[in-house]
């Protein structure tokens, strides 16, 4: 039996969604975030030293990292579904977006989440302006421009085609859902309008498998 160790409101929603798209039976173990720190519970470290979700156990293996998990599941169970044909131009795009989501897009989003937390964090009144000023300088010197560039890049890509790997929906769209949602719905896109990404989000949310994943694992979205 395939088991998904799912942390609420996290990247692991993508794994549930993929399994629903593939119509694969799975067992679901749900973990709750610490209400104060929003961190994953220590119990996840019993499965993997880093104690982070998503984690999947299947065929005696413990799989970590959402992109690697998606690739493994598509190769193991997909029977040609949810990925372009090998050697096609779409396959190049597919691989790119699978890695781009976490490799390039998530780092500045994480920095933005940290600076947002710093600006809201309780602190003595005489320190608070300094903390907010430091967070503001990080955003002004790095985060805002980075996220604006990524937003424009994504908008341009989705202006040319309905899905990230081309004309057909694929696991690359599943992988991109978490960071694009943080950009568009989390208001972290550098203030730029993102109509193409917004339309793409509407398309993925209309998919029955996406809705089924939310019914089983709770709403998708960033903890921030």
Mean of the pLDDT values across residues 107-131? 84
Q: Give me the number of domains the chain comprises.
A: 2
pLDDT band, very low/low/confident/very high, at 116 (cuts 50, 70, 90): confident
Calculate the average pLDDT of the chain: 89
Q: Does residue 145 or residue 190 have the better pLDDT? A: 145
68 and 105 co-located in one domain:
no
Is the distance from CB of 217 to CB of 12 less than 8 angstroms?
Answer: yes
The range of the structural domain enclosing residue 38 comes to 3-82
95 and 77 co-located in one domain:
no
pLDDT of residue 50: 87
Work out the number of other CB atoms within 10 angstroms of the CB of residue 44.
20
| Domain final position from 33, 51, 82 | 82
Per-residue pLDDT tens digits for 26-76:
999 988 887 777 777 788 888 888 888 899 999 889 999 999 999 999 999
pLDDT of residue 63: 95
* Beta-carbon contacts of residue 1 (< 8 Å; ≥ 6 apart): 25, 26, 27
User: Could you give the C-alpha distances from 205 to 59, 126, 192, in angstroms and in order?
Assistant: 31, 45, 22
pLDDT of residue 192: 64
Judge whether residue 141 has pLDDT over 50.
yes
Q: Does residue 32 or residue 15 have the better pLDDT? A: 15
136 and 202 co-located in one domain:
yes
93 and 198 co-located in one domain:
yes
Query: Encoding tokens for residue 160?
Result: 């040319």
The CATH number for 167's domain is 1.20.1050.10
pLDDT of residue 223: 43
Mean of the pLDDT values across residues 166-184? 95
- Report yes or no on 212 lying in a domain: no
Ramachandran angles phi, psi of 145, nearest 5° = -65, -40
The CATH number for 11's domain is 3.40.30.10
Per-residue pLDDT tens digits for 93-102:
999 999 999 9
- Per 3-state DSSP, the chain is made up of helix, strand and coil in percentages (nearest 5) of 55, 10, 35
- Report yes or no on 219 lying in a domain: no
Question: What are the residue ranges of helices labelled H in 23-65?
Answer: none
Asked if the peptide bond before residue 54 counts as cis, ω within 30 degrees of 0, the response is: yes
Query: Encoding tokens for residue 50?
Result: 């880093």
Is the distance from CB of 31 to CB of 52 less than 8 angstroms?
Answer: no
Q: Tokens 């907010």 sit at which residue?
A: 132
| Domain final position from 39, 54, 82 | 82
Ramachandran angles phi, psi of 203, nearest 5° = -65, -40
- Report yes or no on 223 lying in a domain: no
94 and 73 co-located in one domain:
no
Mean of the pLDDT values across residues 202-209? 97
57 and 111 co-located in one domain:
no
């Amino acid at each position: 039996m395939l088991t998904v160790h799912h942390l609420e409101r996290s990247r692991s929603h993508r794994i549930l969604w993929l399994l629903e798209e593939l119509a694969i039976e799975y067992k679901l173990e749900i973990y709750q975030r610490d209400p104060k720190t929003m961190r994953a519970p220590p119990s996840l470290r019993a499965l993997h030293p880093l104690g982070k979700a998503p984690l999947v156990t299947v065929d005696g293996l413990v799989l970590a990292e959402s992109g690697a998990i998606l690739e493994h599941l598509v190769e193991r169970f997909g029977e040609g579904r949810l990925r372009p044909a090998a050697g096609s131009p779409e396959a190049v795009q597919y691989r790119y977006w699978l890695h781009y989501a976490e490799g390039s897009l998530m780092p500045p989003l994480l920095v933005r989440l940290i600076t947002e937390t710093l600006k809201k964090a309780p602190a003595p009144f005489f320190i608070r302006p300094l903390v907010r000023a430091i967070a503001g300088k990080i955003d002004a010197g790095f985060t805002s421009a980075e996220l604006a560039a990524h937003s424009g890049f994504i908008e341009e890509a989705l202006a040319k085609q309905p899905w990230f790997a081309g004309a057909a929906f694929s696991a690359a769209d599943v992988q991109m859902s978490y960071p694009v949602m943080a950009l568009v719905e989390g208001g972290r896109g550098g203030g730029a309008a993102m109509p193409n990404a917004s339309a793409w989000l509407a398309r993925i949310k209309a998919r029955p498998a996406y809705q089924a994943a939310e019914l089983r694992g709770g709403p998708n979205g960033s903890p921030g």
